[in-house]
Structure 1
Amino acid sequence: MHTGVIYAMLAALLFGASTPFAKLLVGQMSPFALAGLLYLGSGVGLLVCYVARAALQRHAQERPATLSRSDLPWYAGAVLAGGVAGPVLLMLGLESVSASSASLLLNMEGVLTAMLAWFVFKENFDRRIFIGMLLIVAAGVLLSWDHAASQGGLWGMVAVIGACLCWGIDNNLTRKVSASDPLQIACIKGLVAGSLNLAIGLAMGSRLPASTTVLLTGVVGFAGYGLSLVLYVLALRHLGTARTGAYFSMAPFAGAALSLLMLGDAPDALFWIAAALMGGGIWLHLTESHAHEHEHLPMAHAHLHRHDEHHQHSHDFEWDGAEPHAHPHQHAPLRHSHAHYPDIHHRHEH
């Protein structure tokens, strides 16, 4: 299985599992405070990982490429959309929507991510990918129809879908910086978004719960928002935005299954029909194959890499042969044919 697909699936499982746990925490603090603690848990946990990794690295070339000044506008937009607005909308939605239904509605993140990638950022897609997304949209509509009559449920679903739109914007902006260190990207996002959300919550009069609840929230945030985002950025680097979003659509199924076990939600027939439609859409994405002759134009960037067919270059420093390593490098023009995704080296026109 492609490395990027594995990263995306692991990211999906971690994030999906966090939804029912977040549902248990809703009501114990305000949505802003809860989102803040989730992201702070992510940021603090990843900061520990970042420091530990730096202590173990012997050479500068072993370190992933850090964010550059040109990355900052894209990254700031990603943090505001996905780290501030998205989590708050999700917590608001979870106040009136069951965890299993919210988990399935979160499939809309993949759809909205893909729509933005295709029509705003001009990423390539084909009929198979489009049909898969239609199935996921149909499932979301069916699920919404099922709950539209419930008191407060409709606005809760609107909030969850709004969170998905924020994360769709976040995903597309993060792809712009995905060649940089994913641990750094996720760590800074967690610290900034967490601090801002928590400050807003405290300013609005929210009180923090017991220390054990704060610790539990931080652990959920570290796994579901921190490690998940690191893996998601790695998947973006390998797969592009739309396809990573499609594979990430597995997240709601993980969350729905766990919420059924933990919270005793009772799914009805429409729930399972929606799940089947979403499963069919994800299957179409998983079985995609894309290969054609293409040309690589000259390009210069920096990221962790091995000397494969796309990285045949010399070094202006003494290299001991260790791989992977990171440094600024130049790609020469190249024309060939092989199966590929719209990764950081295959963002060409068709």
Structure 2
Amino acid sequence: MIVIVAGAAILSWPGEARFAGLWPTLAILGACFAWGIDNNLTRKVSLTDATWIASVKGLVAGVVNLALAFTLGATLPPLPNLAGALLVGFFAYGVSLALFVIGLRHLGTARTGAYFSIAPFLGAALAVAMGDAVTIPLIVAGLLMAIGIWLHLTEQHEHRHHHDDLLHEHQHLHDEHHQHSHDFPVNADIPHKHPHQHQPMEHSHPHFPDSHHRHKH
């Protein structure tokens, strides 16, 4: 995770350090703090439909942002610019947020945030594809991010852990963690969704901090 963040920092470094003042610095730190809280709270509801979560968050955020903008004197841009902004927002915020929620569900907050931090590199790579020059910081950042992702993907986190009694609802197959009966015909090998009970159990296997592995170490 540290390697990925280091790559993002190198790519974002403007070449010199300037202190813009206390309030701008506090504003950025406050935004990062709020985003961290948002990610952890979203993780707690990540078993809910990701598109619904993205829609609600996008609607509330859009209304708040528009209210702030109009309060500060902003006006709507020309229609072509507005249409372009809506298209970018649909993919960059709508689809992206839904996929981010799915990542929180299966990988946990820290890993999802670490993977998400490679976004500056992907943006820089797109800029290179559109004609920008390849720079040393871009190459170094790309290598660091690749190493970080490789370390994440090859990690084998395995130990004996306990699952508490749990009742919840999400899409699932009948794997080691989902051994329950149904009151209706269900093909256990096809993803299905219904409220189901997890019985207490203790076992050992490789795992990520997904919705079924929120235990302490």
TM-score of the alignment, normalized to the shorter chain, above 0.5:
yes
Contact preservation (8 Å) 1:186, 1:226: yes
- 1:97-246 to structure 2, matched below 5 A, reads 132-133=1-2, 135-139=3-7, 142=10, 146-149=14-17, 163-246=31-114
The structure-2 alpha-carbon separation of the partners of 1:144 and 1:247, relative to structure 1 and needing over 3 Å to count, comes to: closer
Look up the SS of the partner of 1:147 in the other structure: coil
Q: In the alignment, residue 237 of structure 1 is paired with which amino acid? A: R
1:280 is aligned, of 134, 147, 155, to 147
**Structure 1 vs Structure 2: percent identity of aligned residues?**
56
| Structure-1-length-normalised TM-score | 0.54
Contact preservation (8 Å) 2:43, 2:108: yes
Q: In the alignment, residue 213 of structure 2 is paired with which amino acid? A: H
2:184 matched residue in structure 1: 318
1:345 matched residue in structure 2: 212
Contact preservation (8 Å) 2:8, 2:121: no
The structure-2 alpha-carbon separation of the partners of 1:272 and 1:183, relative to structure 1 and needing over 3 Å to count, comes to: same
Contact preservation (8 Å) 2:157, 2:208: yes
Higher-Rg structure is 2
Q: Which has the higher contact order (CA 8 A, sep 6+)?
A: 1
User: Which stretch shifts more, 160-169 or 277-286?
Assistant: 160-169
Aligned mates of 1:254, 1:245 — CA distance in 2: 15
User: How far off is 1:253 after superposition?
Assistant: 1.5
The structure-2 alpha-carbon separation of the partners of 1:157 and 1:254, relative to structure 1 and needing over 3 Å to count, comes to: farther
1:327 matched residue in structure 2: 194
1:300 matched residue in structure 2: 167
Aligned mates of 1:170, 1:326 — CA distance in 2: 26
Q: In the alignment, residue 101 of structure 2 is paired with which amino acid? A: V
Q: Which has the higher helix share?
A: 1
User: Which stretch shifts more, 182-191 or 195-204?
Assistant: 195-204
| Structure-2-length-normalised TM-score | 0.83
User: How far off is 1:320 after superposition?
Assistant: 4.5
User: How far off is 1:349 after superposition?
Assistant: 2.2
Contact preservation (8 Å) 1:303, 1:328: yes
Q: In the alignment, residue 175 of structure 1 is paired with which amino acid? A: R
The structure-2 alpha-carbon separation of the partners of 1:324 and 1:276, relative to structure 1 and needing over 3 Å to count, comes to: closer
Look up the SS of the partner of 2:161 in the other structure: strand
Q: In the alignment, residue 183 of structure 1 is paired with which amino acid? A: T
Aligned mates of 2:34, 2:128 — CA distance in 1: 26
Tell me, which stretches of 5 or more residues in structure 1 are unaligned?
1-131
User: How far off is 1:265 after superposition?
Assistant: 5.0
Contact preservation (8 Å) 2:8, 2:117: no
